Amino acid sequence: MKTTFLTSVILVLITVILLYGCKSESSAEQDGSADSVDVASSWKLGVAFWTFHAFSLPEALNKIDSAGIDYIEAVTFFKSGAELKDSLIGDLSPAGIEKVKAMLASHRLTVESMYIDGGTTVDSWVRQFEMAKTMGAKFVTTEPPLKMWDELDSLAGVYGMKVAIHEHWKGVSKYWHPDSVLAAIKGHPNFGACADLGHWPKSGVDPLEAVKTLEGHIISVHLKDIAEMNNPKLMDVPAGTGIVDFPAIFAELKRQKFNGPIYIERDAEDKPSNLPSVIKTVEYFNTEVAKLK
């Protein structure tokens, strides 16, 4: 009788544990605490300054504001506006940079990164890193000279910033193929990738396969679409209207647990501006990401 009682107690305890475990798992799925849900919902959608390169900085900031975006990738080669004599941001003095920062603050915009473009000397890159750090950037985006990988990796370490290697298309960039980006990353712990989804197809590279190839190394994404493969002369089209399979890419980024910023970027100059396409891209992005949940 004693044995039967103990057996009954053990069975009751096992049942309670199993029920509690199932309830906890169900709660995790409902409140979104599971990793598979959290990763995509934490992505920061921003815009690359270059999207509004036909305008001065004050004009561009007003347009970015209208799109309801909080994060930006600044660039050094951007006109700073009449107050600063339309000097390029990269040519501004420290006082000028502070004025640019004040403009950004007035629009409540956060500089997540900065696209920089140094010269052939280390000193020219030091100035670029200094500017990016002053602007509050967490990492820099660039296409580093092949002979300066070691120097730029070391500089990135000194400034506590990563280098996201950007890829223009074949014939323009040494990094047009993801394998060349991996070659640069090898042995350089501060290097990673900026996945430009619209530039790869211009070189005949499937952007989904490129994202898979660069798994574990992607720091940021340039959200861009293109009308057809392997045509470097084409300008980009609004996201979701071309050949890039964004739903599949978003799903792959989620699988990889990517957690960096995703920047809307346009090279084309729609008239009167790229603002309408940016607003539509925000809506498209939110709709597709919501499906991942």
Helical (H) or strand (E) element with 74: strand 71-75
Q: What is the pLDDT of residue 38?
A: 62
Measure the N-to-C terminal CA separation of the chain; round to a whole number of Å. Answer: 52
Coil vs helix vs strand at 176: coil
The pLDDT tens digits for 208-245 are 999 999 999 999 999 999 999 999 999 999 999 999 99
| Whether 188 contacts 161, CB under 8 Å | no
Residues of the chain with pLDDT under 70: 1-38
**H or E element that contains 112:** strand 110-115
Residue 42, pLDDT score: 87
Contact 93, 48 (CB under 8 A): no
Closest CA to 141 of 63, 64, 73, 240: 73
Give strand pairing partners of 46. 71, 263
Q: What is the pTM of this model?
A: 0.86
Using an 8 Å Cβ cutoff, are 265 and 46 in contact? no
Residue 58 Cα to chain centre, angstroms: 23
pLDDT of residue 204: 97
Question: Torsion angle of alpha carbons 162, 137, 288, 224, nearest 10°?
Answer: -80
Q: What confidence score (pLDDT) does residue 289 get?
A: 96
Cβ neighbourhood burial of 22 (10 Å; 0-12, 13-18, 19+): exposed
Specify the pLDDT at position 30. Answer: 39
- Residue 217: exposed, middle, or buried by beta-carbon count in 10 A (0-12, 13-18, 19+)? middle
Buried b (16+ CB within 10 A) or exposed e, 252-263: bbbebebebbbb
Q: Does residue 272 have a cis peptide bond before it, meaning omega lies within 30 degrees of 0?
A: yes
Q: Tell me how far apart the alpha carbons of residues 34 and 47 are, in angstroms, rounded to a whole number.
A: 28
What are the tens digits of pLDDT across the range 279-293? 999 999 999 999 998
